[in-house]
Structure formats: structure tokens, C-alpha cells
Amino acid sequence: MIKTLKIEPLTKEAFAPFGDVIESEGRDYFMINNGSTRRYHKLGDVQLDEQGQGIINIFRADTLEYPLPIKMLERHPFGSQSFIPLFGHEFLLVVAPVGDGSMNIDPSTVRAFRASARQGVNYHRGVWHHPIMALRDGDEFLVVDRSGPGNNCDEFYFDESIQLTVELD
Ligand SMILES: NC(=O)N[C@@H](O)C(=O)O
Ligand code: NI
């Protein structure tokens, strides 16, 4: 299979099989702090196993070389992982559904999205995704994910006959 992935705009609906979109645009809110603040409540769920602890990190990432061959995806079986851009730059995502839970990805289910400068994502537990795909060198992301015992990062490498690519337009 040789395929250039179509980069889709990131929307709550389109991304629903993979997790949550963290954004304020078009979302419900309620007022707090004596009316000075909008609370966009529960935009995403932090998912953890019983032994997991939720932690807050910053990832500083450089851009990758495009066209980018998608040789592997990874997943975090014990917890969700969110990426919120701190510098307000767009970034890319490549994902595949949890599937049947086995260490296998149907390449036809792999999708690419472009997050706007005001969107973040929260990958749900076990959702396959490519490591962070910043579009600027030195870009920073607030990352909320899970710390705890066990290996929380499975990597799946596609067979060499599967050539999935992401190109920048
Ligand atoms: N390995 C690591 O912490 N980063 C990845 O999980 C990622 O999604 O970028
Ligand atoms: Ni990850």
C-alpha cells in the first residue's frame, strides 16, 4: 500500500474516535469568578489506570522533515495523553483507532489532521498516534499524561510494503 495521507481539518466530530479536541471556539462555557471568567469545562478526560498518576509536562519539539514517511505509530495503554500548543502554532497529528487492542494497525484506518493554532488534542488510552509533529522548530506543548509502573508506550512499525506519507501543502 502506498498512500499520501489527506490532512483533514481537526474537528471535535472527526476526532471523536481518537479522543478530545481542546478548544474554546464554538464550545459551551459558564461564567465563574464573579463574571470575569468563562470556564470551558471538561473539554477532555484525563484517563488513568489505577496505579497511574496524572502529570503535567512540557515537550519542546523540532519540526520533522516533510514529506514525512509514517513508519510507526505508538500508543499509551495505561493513560490518555494531551498536547496543548503553548506558542500558538499549528501542528499535525497522525492517528489510528484503538482497534481490537492487538499490536496491529490496519493502515487503511490511519488518518492525518491539522490542528489550528488554538486547538489541542487529548489522545484517549490506547489510541495509536505518531510522536508529536510540530511545524516549527522549538515549538512547545503542554502535555498531560500518565506516570506510573509498567510500559506505557507500545510502538508499532508498519511493514516496509506499507508506505504512508504526510506532505505539507
Ligand atoms: N514518548 C513520549 O513521551 N512522547 C510521545 O508519547 C508522543 O506522543 O510524542
Ligand atoms: Ni504519545
DSSP state letter for 160? T
DSSP state letter for 42? -
Nearest CA to ligand 1 atom 9: 131
Q: Which of 55, 81, 95 to mutate to test the pocket of ligand 1 (most atoms within 8 A of CB)?
A: 81
* ipTM of the complex, rounded to two decimals: 0.92
Nearest CA to ligand 1 atom 5: 131
Q: How many domains does the chain have?
A: 1
What pLDDT tens digit does each residue of the chain (169 aa) get?
899 999 999 999 999 999 999 999 999 999 999 999 999 999 999 999 999 999 999 999 999 999 999 999 999 999 999 999 999 999 999 999 999 999 999 999 999 999 999 999 999 999 999 999 999 999 999 999 999 999 999 999 999 999 999 999 8
* Cβ-contact 132, 61 below 8 angstroms: yes
DSSP assignment of 141-157 equals EEEEEEESSS---EEEE
Nearest CA to ligand 1 atom 6: 131
